[in-house]
Amino acid sequence: MIWNPNKECMSRDEMSSLQGKRLHKIVEYVYHNVPFYRNKLQEMDITPDDIQTIEDIVKLPFTTKKDLRDNYPFKLQAAPQSQIIRIHASSGTTGNPTIVGYTRKDIGVWSECMARCLTAYGIGRDDIFSVSYGYGLFTGGLGAHNGVEMVGAAVVPASTGNTEKHAKLIRDLGITGIACTPSYALYLAETMDRLGITKDDIKLKVGAFGAEPWTESMRKEIQERLGLKGYNLYGLSEIMGPSVSYECMMQNGSHINEDHFYPEIINPVTEETLPYGQSGELVFTTLTKEGMPLLRYRTRDLCSLMDGRCECGRTSVRMSAITGRSDDMLIIRGINVFPSQVESVVLSMKEFAPRYLLIVDRINNLDTLQIQVELRQEYFTATFDTPAAIDELQKRLAAKLRSVLSIGVNVQLKAPNSIERSQGKSVHVIDNRKLV
Ligand code: DLL
């Protein structure tokens, strides 16, 4: 089944022509509505009339997360505030989150893109579908939710947390599909084992897994333990949220909704565009977005693109699994964490030296984050034998980190000069999970 064969199965010529028209329109739109883009285009001596075909895209400037941060909160918004009906936010590299506003039309496009994903997974009106991404500022919950409603399945807005109750609901309601992070799926399997619920007691057949990298061996394990078929679901909040791309039954790359999100692969160092098949950094241009359209947004995700008709009948360009990042962003329990966020907290507290280490692990299928921070010598000497003061400081740091990172951390205060120094560039992260 295909949700929108007119778009998902277009010939390459038709798709390129549609993309070219939409690109021209979006450039014109941002030129007149976003001073940031107008200035950039004027500096490069480009007018919207210079952009007529999709190949002209290489003339356009890139947009980075820093641009979003510098224009916090609304300066990249193109639509008037009265047209915005939803605002989401995701982690910024330091203090401010990235804010994305959506118009009613954007929410409609997003729902349709998500409906395309779910249809590709085999979800339809008869299904009962649990959305176990977080609801809230994160795009996972509400984004998936709207798509499930659009395909007409019954949505169970389970969100995250309370896994035992969720496991019982999966059994008792006969839930047939679930959207969650792949690591949560494994945690769910473990919880079911503990509760004595076997895969014969449940009816799950589809898992829509994303928001973090996962491997083929994780896919195998989840499929085996939950008795379902696990499909990739990719997206990022700056571009839309979940539904930028999705796997079909062939499970051979993720189809990009390229009538809305135009993909390119670039060399992250030279910024030159790379041909299909080569690995590099994924870049997206939103072709139809009204709230906050972005030109050539550098996702920092590393992957490659595949052209050509898929055996499922779709003709859209597919992307490979994400193999890494061209920056240092970590995804811990589905939440994006930048070491620079930790650094800004550490530097804001006078008791600490600017020496810290993030240690990420996966224990019983749950990601853990330990943060080690060195005390300054003066503070260490003054408080060496007052454990209550150290304890208070540790709690204060943990609370600050939790509020900035949105996840709980295990904080370890260290004596001065005790965190191992590296020879070259300082190492701030040790990731013991083997994700790629
Ligand atoms: O994670 C949106 C989402 C929600 C996607 C639910 C899929 C399912 P952000 O919080 O902005 O948005 O994080 C986006 O997460 O740039 C990737 O690095 C990573 N990511 C998302 N999906 C996948 C995936 C949501 N399927 C960042 N595989 C992206 C690997 C993924 N990495």
Are the CB atoms for 61 and 41 separated by under 8 Å?
Answer: yes
Distance 183 CA to ligand 1 centre (A): 13
| Strand, helix or coil for residue 159 | coil
User: How far apart are the C-alpha atoms of 37 and 61, rounded to whole Å?
Assistant: 9
pTM: 0.94
Q: Where are the domains of the chain?
A: 1-327, 330-431
Ligand 1 site-directed mutation target among 301, 303, 367, most atoms within 8 Å of CB: 301
CA distances from 27 to 71, 75, 316 (A): 18, 16, 23
- First vs last C-alpha separation in the chain: 31
Say yes or no: CB of residue 234 within 6 Å of ligand 1.
yes
Please give the CATH topology (third level) of the domain spanning 330-431: GMP Synthetase; Chain A, domain 3 (3.30.300)
Query: Distance (Å, rounded) from C-alpha 226 to C-alpha 430?
Result: 31
* Cα Rg of the chain (Å, integer): 23
The rounded Å distance from CA 144 to ligand 1 centre is: 13
- Return the pLDDT at 425: 66
Domain 1-327 carries which CATH code? 3.40.50.12780
Q: Are 215 and 324 in contact (CB under 8 A)?
A: no
Instruction: Give the containing element (helix H, strand E) for 265.
Output: strand 261-266
213 lines ligand 1 (CB under 6 A): yes
- pLDDT of the chain along its 436 residues, tens only? 999 999 999 999 999 999 999 999 999 999 999 999 999 999 999 999 999 999 999 999 999 999 999 999 999 999 999 999 999 999 877 778 899 999 999 999 999 999 999 999 999 999 999 999 999 999 999 999 999 999 999 999 999 989 999 999 999 999 999 999 999 999 999 999 999 999 999 999 999 999 999 999 999 999 999 999 999 999 999 999 999 999 999 999 999 999 999 999 999 999 999 999 999 999 999 999 999 999 999 999 999 999 989 999 999 999 999 999 999 999 999 999 999 999 999 999 999 998 999 999 999 888 999 999 999 999 999 887 888 999 999 999 999 999 999 999 999 999 999 998 766 667 899 999 976 6
Half-sphere exposure of 415 (CA within 13 A, CB side): 4
Instruction: Please give the distance, rounded to the nearest whole angstrom, from the Cα atom of residue 296 to the centre of ligand 1.
Output: 18
For helices 104-121 and 139-151, angle between their N-to-C axes, nearest 10 degrees:
70
- Give the ligand 1 atom nearest the CA of 232: 26
257 Cβ partners below 8 Å, 6+ apart?
A: 113, 116, 243, 244, 245, 316
Distance CA 393, CA 379 (A): 11
19 sits in which H/E element = helix 12-33
- Tokens 């996972």, located at residue: 140
Residue 233 beta carbon below 6 angstroms from any ligand 1 atom: yes
Distance of CA 414 to the CA centre of its chain: 33
State whether the beta carbon of 133 lies less than 6 angstroms from ligand 1. Answer: yes
> Which of 336, 406, 435, 436 best tests ligand 1's pocket when mutated (most atoms within 8 Å of CB)?
336
Tokens coding 151: 């395909």
Residue 21 burial by Cβ neighbours in a 10 Å radius (0-12, 13-18, 19+): middle
Residue 344 CA, ligand 1 centroid: distance in Å? 24
Q: Where are the alpha helices (DSSP H) in 34-80?
A: 35-43, 65-70
Please write the tens of the pLDDT for every residue from 349-402.
999 998 999 999 999 888 999 999 999 999 999 887 888 999 999 999 999 999
Q: Any idea what DSSP says for residue 74? A: T
Angle (CA) 341-77-85 rounded to 5° is: 100
The whole-number pLDDT of residue 423 equals: 66
Is residue 414 within 8 Å of 377, Cβ to Cβ?
A: no
Cα angle, residue 186 at apex, residues 368 and 228 outer, rounded to 5° = 160
Q: Give the pair of three-digit tokens for residue 47.
A: 């007018």
Give per-residue pLDDT as tens, 67-96: 999 999 999 999 999 999 999 999 877 778
The one-letter amino acid code at 436 reads V
- Residues 163 and 167: their CA atoms lie apart, in Å, by 6
Closest CA to 290 of 112, 48, 33, 68: 33
Instruction: Quote the ligand 1 centre to 28 CA distance (angstroms).
Output: 29
User: What's the confidence (pLDDT) of residue 436?
Assistant: 62
Distance (Å) from CA 219 to ligand 1 centroid: 16
Rounded to an integer, what distance in angstroms lies between the CA atom of residue 146 and that of residue 110?
Answer: 8
Query: Cα of 376 to ligand 1 centre, how many Å?
Result: 37
Its sign, for the CA torsion 402, 408, 409, 413, is positive
φ/ψ of residue 70, rounded to 5: -65, -25
Helix, strand, coil percentages, rounded to 5, for the chain: 35, 25, 40
Closest to 139 (Cα-Cα) out of 105, 176, 104, 102: 102
The per-residue pLDDT for range 244-274, each reduced to its tens digit, is 999 999 999 999 999 999 999 999 999 999 9
